[in-house]
Amino acid sequence: MRAADLGSDIKEVLYTEEQVHQRVVELAAQIDADYQDREVVLVGVLNGAVMTLADLCRSMNSHMTMDWMAVSSYGVGTTSSGVVRILKDLSGSIEGKDVLIVEDIIDTGLTLSYLLQNLSSRDPNSLEVMAMFRKPPALTSSVDVKYVGFDIPNEFVVGYGLDYAGHYRNLTDVATLAPHVYS
């Protein structure tokens, strides 16, 4: 679904499907160059990173496997609950492996710092992060994100896997929503 199909629900398109795709291809090339002959475990953070991981791995030439984690951070609204809980853990061990966490968006960095702490305690050989979008608060938090798609303004965005109350994940563009959607 394109932003144009949503009519008045959309306030502004920040990135088109084509711009997002182009950036994913660039990041995949960077990741390929960094990992070369090493096999990387892509750890997708459900549900938001589904589109990013699916597109990223198909643009990569490196050998990879994928695994998924689900954590709760936001509830149904647009503010962080401040509490991170594991809803679904990895299926396999990451001990001795080269792990790349694939995140949809980083806001406060709270979710990511929890994930980094949790996964590093499982003794991977390396642990890096890719985030499709990053908001300004993340720049002042201590989390180190090696691969960033786009640094975006401090606004709530939907599309490309990102939802509002479960909706808009299938929007292929990335956009902000009109105020009436929230009321």
Separation in Å, CA 147 to CA 27, 58, 102: 7, 17, 9
Nearer to ligand 5GP, 105 or 148 (CB): 105
102 binds ligand 5GP (CB under 6 A): no
In the DSSP assignment, the letter for residue 89 is -
Closer CB to ligand 5GP, 122 or 137, in the complex: 137
Question: Contact between 126 and ligand 5GP (CB under 6 A)?
Answer: no
107 is catalytic: yes
Q: Which stretch binds ligand 5GP (CB under 6 A): 1-9, 10-18, 22-30, 156-164?
A: 156-164
CA-nearest of 20, 177, 1, 14 to 104 is: 20
CA distances from 112 to 17, 29, 53, 167 (A): 25, 23, 16, 23
Q: Which of 64, 106, 145, 171 binds ligand 5GP (CB under 6 A)?
A: 106
**Binding flag, residue 177, ligand 5GP (CB under 6 A):** no
Cβ contact 23:149 at 8 Å: yes
Q: Which of residues 18-77 bind ligand 5GP (CB under 6 A)?
A: 48, 73-74
**Considering beta carbons, is residue 33 or 70 the nearer one to ligand 5GP?**
70
Answer yes or no whether residue 108 interacts with ligand 5GP by CB under 6 A. Answer: yes
Q: Report whether 5 contacts 13 (CB < 8 A).
A: no
E strands, 75-125, where?
Answer: 80-88, 98-106
Of 31, 53, 100, 105, the one binding ligand 5GP (CB under 6 A) is: 105
Annotated catalytic residue, options 104, 107, 151, 173: 107
Q: Which of 3, 43, 56, 104 binds ligand 5GP (CB under 6 A)?
A: 104
Structure tokens belonging to residue 16 = 């088109």
| 149: three-class secondary structure by DSSP | strand
Question: Measured between alpha carbons, how far is 178 from 181 in angstroms, rounded to an integer?
Answer: 6
User: Least CB distance from residue 149 to ligand 5GP, whole Å?
Assistant: 13
Residues that bind ligand 5GP (CB under 6 A): 48, 73-74, 80, 103-112, 156-158, 162-164
The residues annotated as belonging to the active site are 107
